[in-house]
Amino acid sequence: MSTPYAKLPGWVEYGLIPLVNLVVAFAVAGLVVLLVGESPLEAAYHMVNGAFGRGEYIGFTLYYATTFIFTGLAVAVAFHAGLFNIGGEGQAYVAGIGVALACLWLDRFMPWYVVFPVAILGASLFGAAWAFLPGWFQAKRGSHIVITTIMFNFIAASLMNYMLNRVLKPLGSMSLETRTFEAGGQLPRLDWLMSIFGLSVGTAPFNVTFLLALAASFGVWVLIWRTKLGYEMRTMGHSPSAARYAGIKEARIIVITMMISGALAGMMALNPIMGETYRMQLDFVQGAGFVGIAVALMGRSHPAGIIPAAILFGVLYQGGAEIAFEMPSISRDMIVIIQGLVILFAGALEHMFRPAITRAVLAFSGRGRTQAAAKGA
Amino acid sequence: MDYLQLFLELAQSTVRLSTPLILAALAGLFTERAGVFDIGLEGKMLGGAFAAGCVAFVAQSAMAGLLAAVVVSVLLSLVHGYASITQRGNQIVSGVAINFIVAGSTVILGEAWFRQGGRTPALSEGARFQVIDLPFAEELRGIPLLGPIYADLISGHQALTYIAFLMVPASWWILYRTRFGLRLRAVGENPGAVDTAGISVIWMRYRAVICCGILCGIAGAYLSLAANAGWTKGMTAGKGYIALAALIFAKWRPVPVMFACLLFGFLDAFAIRYQSTPLPLIGKVPVQLMQALPYILTVILLAGFIGKAIPPKAGGVPYVKER
């Protein structure tokens, strides 16, 4: 991708421009709140209070953030190789099978720290497998990855509906879910981490998956910026023809990238299944795969940006519930609007304010330079 | 006679279910042929359906509802156009954004304005599109085979259904037999050449996007004013994506688009009708498999196992004029 724009200092590129995009997205969301006849400021107050007001609220915020870190990383890894993986939703959904199988198999006679690694493996394997086919089709058969991954989301929904209906549901049960896991399938909460800060986690399902998410973020950073594979991925993302010329095997990179992306999306399934409900329920992903797109765009595909972006969406989810409680006319669907606006302004319209900001920054720094020059003379 | 009755029932619901798909897929045909990918069909349809439901209820007029649907859908299309044509943003990201914005805001606004828990008030007969009986439908019913087909399958749909099926040859004519269509297709294949000929690529693409908005609006209005009596939360339920699948399945050509939509509509109708009855030879097919079939077929097609689906060459690429 060639950028016809002037090179800007890092703080503008990675700080100011995303911030301006984000502020505009929230301003438009505020307009929607006004249109409904409520006060945006009051909504913002309830949101911040609902997300940070108590230790328990913070626990919920970080619980949601954990999920979004995984899906955000999944989208980001694919972005680096120039691939757009819209299929995080389906990959996470199918990965639920991996988690559920590990738990159903081991939970009665193994402690959580044995079940957890097996479940991680299961989630990654199923997630990667669900991303393998779209990747392979793109690499070998030239079908468009975006379309294929969308289709795979729908196929995953049908598949999981079938699995929960016919295979994983206990006999005689009416609701579409697996049985509740015993102690081995329940991840410990991070009470100790919160109590360091003098906070109580309460009933919030803030669990060890959060630490896994942080480790995964570090792992992605190492992969993308410190390994040969990551270098090849980025080369392909910048210029497929240059990558081909350099002898990088395009098909191999596409398939591997998609599988890593799918595995990351898949690990998201650990959080709700083993961390909150202790069973796999129908539709447990609840759009988190799509939130990952917004998170990756906002975090500029860098783990250091993705973690704060994921926390911001955690705030939206947890604070949004509080808004819905305090101001009934603003339901949780408000989050979906904000998510869309963030995707629009931080993604599709990311360059809209760039010319103006570039001009402002250049004018500002230019004046500084002339003043310094005048002083020197 | 029993079989005829069964066939007619299935065919009727196939037509009903395919109508919005045909409109949306043709909408996608116009933009994608002009080089602008659009996965926002779903959102535009839903926005149109919502506007139609609101305005038709307030004005008590189906035509006003249809007009509102078209206006809202065109506005959303222009947002997509602004992001992907003028700002040269990522077209897929923009489409995804529109889907989310519409999915959320229709629910919030609907709840604020009507307070009926994710729906607009039920529309009376006058505010909906009425079933049209074609001339002599009843008189001709007596004719064996052809009579019932005419009376029950060809006659007895709402105006929008007929418009949808008429739009198929109309789109073909516009795309392949007019100067506008030639230029539109050229802009999707080789925008540089069109630019050299002194035609504005930007304006061409905007017009294509507007065409898409109009058709998506009609599709939305069909959902809330003809197929149902009002808008309900998330009523498009993936139809925009099925339409997209149909468009690819038809390899971006108008007449095959109709057949692909009819096929996907038939699968849907069949799945609804035969949810729990075992079929001869195959046995009982899980309904989930039937629901997933359009998507599976599209994936297989895209992977080049049934012919090859080659998208417009300049699709997804913003046009940058040489300096």
* Cβ pair B70, B217 in contact under 8 A: yes
Least confidently predicted of A108-117, A217-226, B42-51: A108-117
Select the residue of B100, B286, B292 nearest A339 (Cβ to Cβ). B100
Tell me if residue B106 falls in helix, strand or coil: helix
Is there a domain that residue A37 lies in? no
Residues from chain A contacting residue B320 (CB–CB below 8 Å): 4
Q: Is A335 inside any structural domain?
A: no
Question: Which residues of chain B fall short of a pLDDT of 50?
Answer: none
Is A136 inside any structural domain? yes
Which pLDDT score, from 0 to 100, does residue A101 have?
93
DSSP B208-251: HHHHHHHHHHHHHHIIIIIISSS-BTTTTTTHHHHHHHHHHHTT
With a cut of 60, say whether residue A370 has pLDDT above it. Answer: no
Mean pLDDT on A274-289: 90
Q: Mean per-residue pLDDT for A142-147?
A: 82
Q: For chain A, what is the radius of gyration of the CA atoms?
A: 22
CB B223 within 8 A of CB B45: yes
Per residue in A315-336, pLDDT (tens digit) is 988 988 888 888 887 888 888 8
Q: Which of B94, B96, B244, B249 to mutate to test the interface with A (most CBs of A within 10 A)?
A: B96
* Residues B221-253: tens digit of each pLDDT: 999 998 888 899 888 888 898 898 889 888 899
Q: Which two tokens stand for residue B93?
A: 């990201």
| CA nearest neighbour of A275 among A213, A319, A220, A321 | A213
Kindly give, in sequence order, each residue whose CB lies less than 8 Å from that of residue A153, ignoring residues fewer than 6 positions away. A86, A87, A89, A90, A93, A289
Q: What kind and span of H or E run contains B157?
A: strand B157-158
- Residue whose C-alpha is closest to residue B40's, from B111, B100, B98: B98
How many structural domains are present in chain A?
1
For A32, which of B37, B105, B299 is closest by C-beta distance?
B105
Q: Mutation target for A interface from B37, B87, B101, B323: give the one with most A CBs within 10 A.
A: B101
Q: Where are the beta strands (DSSP E) in chain A?
A: none
Structural domain harbouring A188:
69-306
Residue extents of the structural domains in chain B: 2-238
A352 contacts in chain B (CB < 8 Å) = 87
Token match 């949004």: residue? A320
Which has more confidence, A323 or A365?
Answer: A323
Asked if A350 and A27 count as a contact pair (C-beta separation under 8 A), the reply is: no
Quote ipTM for the complex.
0.87
The residue that leads in pLDDT, A11 or B83, is B83
Ramachandran angles phi, psi of B134, nearest 5°: -70, 155
CB atoms within 10 A of CB B290: 17
Tokens of B91: 């077209």
Residue type at position B20: P
**A282 Cβ neighbours under 8 A, 6+ residues apart:** A160, A161, A164, A176, A177
CA distance B101 to B218: 20
Number of H helices, E strands in chain B: 13, 2
Whether A63 maps to a domain, the answer reads no
> Are residues B303 and A137, on separate chains, in Cβ contact within 8 Å?
yes
For residue A44, being part of any structural domain is answered with: no
**Torsion angle in degrees (nearest 10) through CA of B41, B44, B48, B54:** 140
